[in-house]
Structure 1
């Protein structure tokens, strides 16, 4: 009908070496969401891919509803998410991975939940089938730790895949920090939120770009960005070490005065020196991590550099 207002859905998709999945992804999303009363626009962010991802995106962009941004190099998923959210102009915005591990069919239920009054409808995996056991163990451990030491709650198994209202995304974009941890940011901004559970899915093609150590670094960044607990631990360790040394000094002084025993035990002394030295280095390392974050923030470097895009500048 003429004059009818059509609401828009922006689909933000970071992509790194996803040449095998892009066409499948677009086809599956269109198929599974064809009944949604929303005008869909895809925002693909090519995060410095070294395969033919950019070529595929240019091919797909003959469809006016497919936009792409290509970075000058690999800046990481956080930068890609930020770029996509900045460009997305929909009334509703979803973040998805191109490998179809985020089931497009869930967008229908997510939209229904939004209509019920929720501002954010997220997803969380109820299983980690197909994932290496050691990765699952450390992932579960991370969520247990972060929820104990941070005021920002993060649901175990939560994914970046979520549907958000315009107001939520505008609030996220007000956070100007360079060192970003989106899972924490999505939770920190608040708003009425619910999570939909689903079974873990394998990639439809290609291989993951996340290594174990990459995920470990990402987890450490999350802890540093959303908790002061490591600094408190460093302070506590320093205090306990100082108190222990005072008590031991007093003990050996009294023992010598009463029994006339000379202080012995050079192996013990060496062990204590190494122990205290290690604790000091650990504490300095923790403090250094926070200082490094401050250093990076003060530089005010851009999160990413766009090499080319088919999105017209406003």
Structure 2
């Protein structure tokens, strides 16, 4: 069985196109298909479309709907928990993940005895330049400071074997960053590169600010570098302050103690105060993550589901 996990947020215009495209791509496959759509608190008619598809194909198309928007990470985790297949793929409903790659991915896993076949974009054609710049910068930063390496342009679209899926599900942390989790668990993985694609319909729910916060979460979740940076800034400030103090004392002994210099003192105080607030903010980010983990809140809550969906969370 091949399970296809599809997180959805306001995707009423794309879902049927997606199902038709995947069915066509796997028409010659001998695998039994299982669609698992996760409605992440959509505000449009996504759930209505999913109910109709489930009524048409109750044995192959399943859905679950969250009580509110918990985010794509929660939707991915929920879909993986529901997947029953020996092979499991994660895809977006907007067809930016090419379904025609699935036969090649299946063949690679079976012929090369791989645990995972992932996908990555060759380029970022059609993407705003500023988003491309910050995306590339994110991968350079995370790979510089984290032991968990991530490939530039990698997508969540990947095909995994059951052992790898089970390994991912063992990571029950509340603060999730799937790209990092997929890399952290290891397993034999190869990647397929493809040309970037535009959405088949609708508009993306990802804003620049949303992607920026998501990137920060990824860095915090898989690197201690920001904490090391805060410590370095603190140590450097102490050294500079010590050198400045020696300079001031020596100057006062040799040339007297003039009363001028208040503007520079105020500027230095403001600068040091800003550094302190920056370091406190970095530490606070980690403390906030710890706070959310210790609450032990569920990653998601299900409001409604098709009859065939397991009651797990």
TM-score range, shorter chain: over 0.9
Quick one: distance in 2 between partners of 1:229 and 1:247? Answer: 27
User: Aligned residue for 1:124?
Assistant: 120
User: Aligned residue for 2:15?
Assistant: 22
Note the 1:269-308 alignment, pairs <5 A: 269-308=265-304
Q: In structure 2, which of residues 107, 110, 114 is the aligned counterpart of residue 112 of structure 1?
A: 107
Task: Determine whether 1:218 maps to 2:214.
Answer: yes
Quick one: distance in 2 between partners of 1:273 and 1:113? Answer: 60
Note the 1:1-314 alignment, pairs <5 A: 8-62=1-55, 63=57, 64-115=59-110, 116-262=112-258, 264-310=260-306, 311-313=308-310
Quick one: distance in 2 between partners of 1:143 and 1:118? Answer: 25
Q: Deviations over 1:67-86 (max 9, x none)?
A: 00000111100000000000
Quick one: distance in 2 between partners of 1:33 and 1:264? Answer: 79
Using the size of structure 2 for normalisation, the TM-score is: 0.97
Quick one: distance in 2 between partners of 1:42 and 1:313? Answer: 14
Quick one: distance in 1 between partners of 2:172 and 2:305? Answer: 23
Using the size of structure 1 for normalisation, the TM-score is: 0.96
Quick one: distance in 2 between partners of 1:142 and 1:13? Answer: 25
Q: Which secondary structure state, in structure 2, belongs to the residue aligned with residue 38 of structure 1?
A: coil
Shift of 1:312: 4.1
Quick one: distance in 2 between partners of 1:107 and 1:13? Answer: 14
Shift of 1:250: 0.6
Quick one: distance in 2 between partners of 1:16 and 1:112? Answer: 31
Is the 2:64–2:309 Cα contact (8 Å) retained in structure 1? no
Q: Deviations over 1:205-228 (max 9, x none)?
A: 000000000000000000000000
Further displaced range: 279-288 or 56-65: 56-65
Quick one: distance in 2 between partners of 1:163 and 1:293? Answer: 30
Q: Which secondary structure state, in structure 2, belongs to the residue aligned with residue 68 of structure 1?
A: strand
Is the 2:62–2:309 Cα contact (8 Å) retained in structure 1? no
Is the 1:252–1:263 Cα contact (8 Å) retained in structure 2? no
Quick one: distance in 2 between partners of 1:36 and 1:136? Answer: 36
Q: Which secondary structure state, in structure 2, belongs to the residue aligned with residue 123 of structure 1?
A: strand
Is the 1:101–1:200 Cα contact (8 Å) retained in structure 2? yes
Shift of 1:264: 3.2
Further displaced range: 129-138 or 29-38: 29-38
Q: Deviations over 1:66-106 (max 9, x none)?
A: 00000011110000000000000100000000000000000
Q: Deviations over 1:83-142 (max 9, x none)?
A: 000000100000000000000000011111101111110000011111100000000000
Consecutive unaligned residues in structure 1, runs of 5 or more? 1-7
After TM superposition, what 4+ stretches of structure 1 lie above 6 angstroms from structure 2? none
Quick one: distance in 2 between partners of 1:33 and 1:198? Answer: 18
Quick one: distance in 2 between partners of 1:136 and 1:103? Answer: 20
Shift of 1:262: 2.6
Shift of 1:263: 5.8
Quick one: distance in 1 between partners of 2:293 and 2:194? Answer: 37
